[in-house]
Amino acid sequence: MSFNYPSKLVIGTSSRALFDLGESHQVYEEKGLEAYSKYQIEREDEPLSPGEAFPLVKKLLNLNENFTDEAVIEIVLLSRNSADTGLRVFNSVEHYGLAVSRAAFCGGDNPWKYISAFGCHLFLSNDASDVKNALDNGVAAATLVSSTSREEGSGQVRFAFDGDAVIFSDEAEKVYKKRGLEAFSASEKASAKTPLSGGPFKPFLSALHQIQKYSSTSSVSPIRTALVTARAAPAHERVIRTLRAWDIRIDESIFLGGLDKAAFLKAYGADVFFDDQQSHCDSASEHIATGHVPYGIANR
């Protein structure tokens, strides 16, 4: 089934997230920039191994086959490499048949500064400082913490999100951190009909929802979303009403009441999970690709 879609979903990824640059980065750390440049140029025809973001990027690009006219999902490469040392990266892109044509090679400078110029809805990186800068500039971003590449699985791409400080602001989480669970539950029950403010991933979730709306003629949407949150009743109602107020549909909502998220994420079959708390990310990363969102009170 093919669909028409009026705009693009743009995702930026660092070269170290897309490919495994661990060995060459070690050369840089131990021997300096000149040795690193020489190392990369001598091996520019040797394809790099896939990195943490590779399976997700590949699946996302494959979704473009579902749409007519032009690609709906675009991947932009953002790298601290120079164009000279970055040639190996682009050669690897070609080797794996990835439809990536736009890139910024920043010669050692921070690549996050070009995220907004490219119109990125999401930035994936292994560099926590670049991710923090992207978040500070209003772009959804995450540091990939998973330790192994994942299997591709089905053609559908499944996203999973934590709620507070990811999809939503951290306003409710502040109450929990400062006053405890009982106060948090009472506050959320009293504010059940008052929508939460948006968090850093609200615009990205909205962009995913737009693709889902335009592919609604298909029996199976190319994208599926899930909210996987430690919240439980009575704190569930405000979440549901907030998403309703935003006119954003989320396919699955799992209220765990403090249970470990990893088993549920594995059962859901998430391709990637985003959470603001490092401990949740560490647990989930044993099973699926995971992005830490260094935002909100839990990261201060």
Domain boundary among 144, 177, 193: 144
pTM over 0.75: yes
Given 90, 120, 144, the domain boundary residue is 144
pLDDT digits (tens, 9 = 90+) for 61-115: 999 887 766 778 999 999 988 888 889 999 999 999 999 999 999 888 888 889 9
Of 144, 171, 198, the one marking the end of a domain is: 144
Does residue 54 or residue 219 have the better pLDDT? 54
Q: Are residues 137 and 245 in the same domain?
A: no
Give domain status of residue 151, yes or no: no
Residue scoring higher pLDDT (218 or 154):
154
Task: Let me know if residue 231 belongs to a domain.
Answer: yes
Q: Are 211 and 5 in contact (CB under 8 A)?
A: yes
Q: Stretch 163-183: mean pLDDT, rounded? A: 93
Whether 11 and 75 have beta carbons less than 8 Å apart is answered as yes
3 assigned to some structural domain = no
Asked if 89 and 77 touch (Cβ cutoff 8 Å), the reply is: yes
| DSSP letter assigned to residue 55 | H
Rg (CA), the chain: 20
What is the distance of C-alpha 270 from the center of its chain? Answer: 12
- First CA to last CA distance, the chain: 46
Looking at the structure, do residues 139 and 174 belong to the same domain, yes or no?
no
Number of domains in the chain: 2
Over range 206-214, report the average pLDDT.
89
**Is 281 a member of any domain?**
yes
Kindly report, residue by residue over 6-63, the tens digit of the pLDDT: 478 999 999 999 999 888 888 888 888 888 889 889 999 999 999 999 999 999 999 9
Predicted local confidence at residue 5, as pLDDT: 44
- We report the CATH number of the domain holding residue 277 as 3.40.50.1000
Residues 113, 15 within the same domain = yes
* Within a domain: 150: no
Q: Report pLDDT digits (tens) over 258-298.
A: 899 999 999 999 999 999 999 999 999 988 999 999 999 99
Domain co-membership, 208 together with 245: yes
**Over residues 109-124, mean pLDDT:** 91
Q: Is the pLDDT of residue 4 over 70?
A: no
Catalytic residue among 69, 84, 136, 162: 162
Q: Do 42 and 127 belong to one domain?
A: yes
Sequence-distant (≥ 6) Cβ neighbours of residue 25 within 8 angstroms: 16, 36
One DSSP character per residue, 162-231 reads -TBTTTB-SHHHHHHHHH-HHHHHHHHHHTTTSPPPB-TTHHHHHHHHHHHHHTTTSSS-SEEEEEEES-
Which residue range forms the structural domain that includes residue 216?
A: 157-294
Higher pLDDT, 282 or 221: 282
- Arithmetic mean of pLDDT, 132-150: 83
Same domain for 71 and 136, yes or no, is yes
Q: 173 with 55, same domain?
A: no
Confidence band of 217 (pLDDT split at 50, 70, 90): low
pLDDT, tens only, 190-199: 999 999 999 9
Annotated catalytic, 162?
Answer: yes
Tell me, what amino acid is at 181? L
Q: What is the pLDDT of residue 149?
A: 46
Query: Are both 169 and 100 inside the same structural domain?
Result: no
Look at residue 201 and tell me if it is in a domain: yes
Q: Do the Cβ atoms of 298 and 277 come closer than 8 Å?
A: yes
